[in-house]
Amino acid sequence: MSFSETAWNAQVKNAVLVGPTGVGKTHLASAICYKAIQKGIPAVGRNRTFLIWLDMPFLIS
């Protein structure tokens, strides 16, 4: 069974992929989002910079 066939991705959940540079976190996140969207599940990928920016609303002008 692959990850895309598990019940996890049929639910609305958040995932955080952690690892060193160059191991394929972005590629894996894109593939997971792509499969979810194909199944009609809304999905979005965000990077660390975006998440930090969301936490600092005072920077928005």
pLDDT of residue 10: 65
User: b or e along 2-19 (b: 16 or more beta carbons within 10 Å of the residue's beta carbon)?
Assistant: eeeeeeebeeeeeeeeee
pLDDT in tens, 18-54: 899 999 988 988 888 888 888 888 888 877 777 676 6
Question: Residue 26: what are its φ and ψ, rounded to 5°?
Answer: -65, -40
Residue 34 in contact with residue 42, Cβ under 8 Å?
no
Domain encompassing residue 53 = 3-59
Higher-pLDDT residue of 61, 42: 42
Q: Place 13 in a pLDDT band, splitting at 50, 70 and 90.
A: confident
Task: Give the chain's domain count.
Answer: 1
What gap in Å lies between CA 35 and CA 37, rounded to an integer? 5
Could you tell me the pTM of the whole model? 0.65
pLDDT of residue 1: 57
pLDDT of residue 57: 62
Tokens of 11: 């639910």
Tokens of 31: 């593939």
